[in-house]
Structure 1
C-alpha cells in the first residue's frame, strides 16, 4: 500500500487549534460512514483474492480479473452498502445530533480521557485522519506545565517535552510521580517547561519538520528566549533529532540556541518488536491465508513504520515500499549537532542478571539497550555520545522512563552538574529497588 502522506509534508494543513469535544464526535461520525471506505474495500478485496489463490489455485492476475467482472463488482458494492448502512443511518446521525443539542461542545477542550483516546487513535491511523482532513487529526501544539495551550510571552530557558507514539502531552507525570518537568522547575529561575502534542501517525520526518518550524515560530514571537532544551520519549526523541536535522538544514536560529537534548528509550536504530513483527509477517506469508494477516497489519500509520529502523529523514523512506515485507535499513546519517550536549537513557526489564543476552536485546520491552544508547556496528550511524552522557535503568520498562524520579534526578544532574559530576566519565547505571522502585546507583 503506498504512502498516504506527501513526501515532503510541512508544518500543518490547518491552524494550531486542537480538537474540541464536538470535533471528536464529528470525527467519529466520519469514521463510521465514508472516510475509511476505500481502506475497508481494499482489505475485503485482498482477503477474497487470497482465498481465490490459496483455495482455488487461481493466479493473482486471474483472481483480479474475476473480481472486476461487472456482477462481481456489483456484489462488492452491495456488501459495502451493508457494512456502512449501520454507521450512516444510526451511529453518525446520533453523534451529530449530540453536537446540535449541545453546541457548547465546540468550545470544550478534550478531557484527559479524550486526550488519551485521540492520541492513541492518531498513533495508529493518524496519517489516514490527516489525509481525509478528519477533525480528530491532531495539529502540532505546545502546552504549558499546567496543561493549557501555551500563550503569553516567554523568556529565559525553555525546555520542550516531546512525547512518544500514541501518547499525549499529559503523559509526562502520573498520580504517583510529579515528573521530569517538576524536577527541572525546582533547579533554577526563568526555566519554562512546554509540552508538545502532535499526530504520531505522521512520518517522523514530517513531524520533525513541523517541530523545527514550531520552535522557530516560538522564538520569533518570544525574542527574550535565551536557550532551548529538548527532552523526547521514545518516538519523541527521534522527532527531536529530525527537528534538529531540518532546523540546521534551514539555518533556523533556534538550533544554535539548543543546549541539551535527552532521549528516553528512543529507538535510534529501530524498535525490536516492530522489526520482529515484520520478519514474522514475511515468514508467515509463505503459508495459505497468512498473507491476509499481513494485509491487516499493513493498515497502520507511517509513524509506526518509521520506528522499524528509526528513520528521521525523508530520504530514509521515500523511495521504499515500506509497508510490505521486511525492508533493509536504508537510512542516511542524521548526527546530532556537535555544539549540543546529547544524553541517552535506556531502560531494561532486567533486575538480577544484568548480562542476560535475551533481555539485553528486548531491553525495556520495546527498545533494546543498544538502540536506546545509539550504539551501532556501522560508524556512520553511531551517535558517538560520551559514556558519561548515557544511563541505564535496570528494572524500568518503556513507559516508566518518562516520569520516574530516578530518571528525573539524573537529567537534573546532567543539566546542572556539580564538580563531582563533571569528573565522571562512565555510563550511569541504576538498579531499581523492587519494593520502592527507587534507583540504586551501580557506578
Structure 2
C-alpha cells in the first residue's frame, strides 16, 4: 500500500511538472513576444533540452549528454553526425514522443517508455521518438530544441543560427554532418535559419545534408489567414464600440501572425523586376540550401484522399499545397499521409517509417565516428543538472504581469465602448442649433469625469505591472536598465 501511495505521488509530480511546462509553452506561443519584451520570467529562452533540462554549450557538454543518455550506450551517445529536432507553435520537445494509442501514431504494441520503469527524469529520457530511433538505427546524436514560439520567425531563426554555431564549437568531436527536422512552425524556423546562415556565412551551413519539414505551412495557414481577415473586417466597421474588438483579435504573438504567409514574406525582400510570381521568388529567396536534400511531409483529416474536408482544411491547420509547396526544390522528396491530422504527424509510426526509408536512401559519404569515452571521463565529477523550472516567486511575478496585461486591455475596451456609446446622443444634440450651446458644457463635464475614472483605473494596471517587476527580481533590474 505504501509503495502504491508513493507511486501515485510520483505520477502526480510528473503530471504537474508536465502540465506546468505545457502551460508555459502555450503562453509563449500566444503572447511570447510580449513576455520577452517585458522580461517576464515565464518567457522561454531557446536552448537544447534533454530530460527537461537545458544543455549548457560549454566544455561540459559531453558529460551532460552522457549523463542523460539513458539506455543508449555511452560509447554510442555522441557521434560526428547530429540531428536537431524543432517543435511547433505552443509545443515542447515532448511533441516528438511516440504515443501508442494516438491516431496514426501506433507503435505496434510498444509502450511509449518501452516498458521501462524509472524515476520521472529517467522516464523522460526513455521516451520513444524520431530522434531516439534515428540514433539507434543510424548513429545520429539527437538534440531537441525548446524555444519561445511567440517570437517572429526571423528572430527565432537568428537565435537558432547562433545556437547551432555554439553547439558545433562546444561539441567534443568535429561535427561532420547535420540534419534538421522541424514540425509545423519548426520547419519555417529551419528555412529562416538557412537563409540567415547563408547571409552570415555561418560555418554550420556547409555541414547541412538533409532537412525534414513535417506539416509545415510554407505558404501560410488558413486558420491565421482567417484570423487576420476577421480582424481587418471588424476594424473597418464604423462604430468604435465594435471596431475596437479588432484589438482583442490582434492580441496574438508575432509568431502566430507570421503563420499567415509562411515564408512568402521573403519574396518581398527579393522581389525582382523579372517576375512577380511569389513561388518563383520563393525558390530564389535562399531559404532552401542548394547542397542539402529537402523532404516534405503532409497529412490530412480524412483517410479518403478525395474528401472535401482534406481539400479545404488539410490536416486541420495546414493544407497539402502549403505543406508541399510549389517553391520546393526540384530534387526534393514528398510524402502525404491521408487520415493523419496535424499534431500526430510529429509522433506517428507510419511517418517514422517514411523518414527511416529516406534516411536509408541518403548518400553516405561520411564514416560514422563516435566520441571516445575514456576511463578518466567516466570518473570525472558528475555535472550538476537541474530540471528547468521556475521558482514560486517567478511564477507569481509572471502571472501577475499577464493578469495586469489582461486588465489593461479590459479597461481599454470598456473605455472605448463607454465613450462611443456615450458620444452617440451628444453627436445628435450637437446638430440642433438651439440645444448645442447647452449640451456642450454638459458633454465636456461628462468627458472629464470619464477621463478621471479611467485614468485611475489605468493607474491600477501600471501599479500591478510594477509589482510584478519587483517580484521578478533580476527581470525587474533588466527592465529598469532598459528604461534608463
State the alpha-carbon separation in 1 of the partners of residues 180 and 153 from structure 2. Answer: 16
Displacement, 1:148? 3.3
Q: Does 1:293 align with 2:245?
A: yes
Q: Is the Cα contact below 8 Å between 2:22 and 2:91 reproduced in 1?
A: yes
Which residue number corresponds to residue 417 of structure 1?
A: 361
Distance 1:269 1:174, change over 3 A: same
Displacement, 1:286? 4.6
**Aligned residue pairs, count:** 291
Which residue number corresponds to residue 26 of structure 2?
A: 120
Q: Choose from 246, 256, 263 the match for 1:304.
A: 256
Q: Does 1:395 align with 2:339?
A: yes
State the alpha-carbon separation in 2 of the partners of residues 314 and 418 from structure 1. Answer: 29
Which residue number corresponds to residue 166 of structure 2?
A: 217
SS at match of 2:358: helix
Q: Is the Cα contact below 8 Å between 1:335 and 1:383 reproduced in 2?
A: no
Which residue number corresponds to residue 220 of structure 2?
A: 270
- The answer to which structure, 1 or 2, has the higher relative contact order (CA under 8 A, 6+ apart) is 2
Q: Given the two structures, how large is their TM-score scaled by the length of structure 2?
A: 0.56
State the alpha-carbon separation in 2 of the partners of residues 336 and 293 from structure 1. Answer: 39
Unmatched runs of 5 consecutive residues or more in structure 2: 1-13, 63-77, 101-111, 113-127, 270-277, 364-484
Q: Choose from 48, 52, 55 the match for 1:150.
A: 55
CA RMSD of aligned residues (A): 2.7
Displacement, 1:399? 0.3
Q: Is the Cα contact below 8 Å between 1:230 and 1:240 reproduced in 2?
A: yes
Q: Is the Cα contact below 8 Å between 1:233 and 1:263 reproduced in 2?
A: yes
Q: Choose from 306, 312, 329 the match for 1:384.
A: 329
Q: Given the two structures, how large is their TM-score scaled by the length of structure 1?
A: 0.61
State the alpha-carbon separation in 1 of the partners of residues 354 and 341 from structure 2. Answer: 17
Which residue number corresponds to residue 435 of structure 1?
A: none
Unmatched runs of 5 consecutive residues or more in structure 1: 1-107, 318-327, 376-381, 420-443
Q: Is the Cα contact below 8 Å between 1:160 and 1:229 reproduced in 2?
A: yes
Q: Is the Cα contact below 8 Å between 1:361 and 1:369 reproduced in 2?
A: no
Q: Is the Cα contact below 8 Å between 1:204 and 1:312 reproduced in 2?
A: no
Greater share of helix: 2
Q: Is the Cα contact below 8 Å between 1:164 and 1:234 reproduced in 2?
A: yes
Q: Does 1:373 align with 2:324?
A: yes
State the alpha-carbon separation in 2 of the partners of residues 414 and 274 from structure 1. Answer: 32
Displacement, 1:206? 0.5
Per-residue CA shift, 1:187-212, capped at 9, x if unaligned?
123x2111000001111000001000
Displacement, 1:135? 1.1
SS at match of 1:202: coil
Which residue number corresponds to residue 154 of structure 2?
A: 205
Per-residue CA shift, 1:79-127, capped at 9, x if unaligned?
xxxxxxxxxxxxxxxxxxxxxxxxxxxxx9x922221011110000011
Which residue number corresponds to residue 98 of structure 1?
A: none
State the alpha-carbon separation in 2 of the partners of residues 188 and 311 from structure 1. Answer: 31
